[in-house]
Amino acid sequence: MSKFAIVPGSFDPITAGHFEIIRRAAAIFDRVTVAILVNSEKAGTFSPDERLEAANAAIRELEKDGITNVDARVFRGLTVDAARDAGAGYIVKGLRNTSDFDYEFGMAEITRRFDENIETVFLPSSPEFMHVSSTYVREILKYGKGDCRAFAPGTEEIIKKFYEKK
């Protein structure tokens, strides 16, 4: 039986920390989908299509390393529904710190109540990515404080679009 996981998030934008978790998930599972979740309550900095474009650029980097079991899709609604819709039995969540653990542990319990057949798997961040967040990358962009590509792989085109919008 194939082990299929989603790695969900808003990915607004995808970061080096996300990229690391996706890479590690691809080594564990037979198939991984980067599930770009759209929250109708939040207006993202980048459109769902731009986030998908950046995720696909990051996936192309994985493919250069021979990792070919990752794809990306946009989903609307709950994470558990995205997992069901994709046909995944696992949800992979990266943890940077204990605050992430507290939040994600609660979400895993709620997910289990909606569908006991979907397991949540936690992967701790590597130390070099513990400080990297989408918020941090957006702040660098917003205030023009430097090149954030080291923190957000595959985002060159969406970063260019961000500056063109300003």
Q: What is the DSSP string of 30-94?
A: SEEEEEEEE-TTS--SS-HHHHHHHHHHHHHHHHHTT--SEEEEEEES-HHHHHHHHT-SEEEEE
Domain count within the chain: 1
Domain with 144 in it: what CATH number? 3.40.50.620
pLDDT in tens, 110-158: 999 999 999 999 999 988 877 777 777 777 777 776 667 677 766 666 6
Containing structural domain, residue 102: 4-165
Q: Torsion angle, CA of 50/121/24/30, rounded to 10 degrees?
A: -90
Residues marked as catalytic: 18, 42, 96, 134
Bridge partners (DSSP) listed for residue 8: 35
Tokens of 15: 């970061």
Query: What are the tens digits of pLDDT across the range 20-75?
Result: 999 999 999 999 999 999 977 777 788 898 889 889 988 998 999 999 999 999 99
CA angle 84, 4, 112 (to 5 degrees): 45
